[in-house]
Amino acid sequence: MMFKDYNEAVNIFKKVLNLEPDYRLNEEKFIEWDFFLFYNSYINMGKCYKELGMYDIALENFLEGKKLAEEVNNYYCVNEADEHISEII
């Protein structure tokens, strides 16, 4: 989050999460990348909310991102979420 406009970043990540399936990547070879956009958006929103001092909402986003990352065995993102979660609780 180089520019520290956390509210704007949250709005952008929410747009990613609200994309209609027809507009998202739908070819089989891109499904993993498409899914990455979702769990990574939750983790990044968690970072923004944490910086804004909105720890409950940050925690919700970290947990959702972690859950989705676990489904595809992306342990890098799982560990990243865990680090942030441990700083909140």
pLDDT of the residue at 30: 59
Say which CATH number the domain at 10 has.
1.25.40
Report if residue 65 sits inside a domain. yes
Q: What is the pTM of this model?
A: 0.80
pLDDT of the residue at 83: 98
pLDDT of the residue at 13: 86
Report if residue 1 sits inside a domain. no
Measure the CA–CA gap between 84 and 24, rounded to whole angstroms: 28
Report if residue 47 sits inside a domain. yes
Q: How many domains does the chain have?
A: 1
Q: Which stretches of the chain score pLDDT less than 50? A: 1, 23
Q: Find the helix or strand (DSSP H, E) in which 6 lies.
A: helix 6-17
Domain that holds residue 30: 6-88
| HEC secondary structure over 9-66 | HHHHHHHHHCCCHHHCCCCHHHHHHHHHHHHHHHHHHHHHHHHCCCHHHHHHHHHHHH
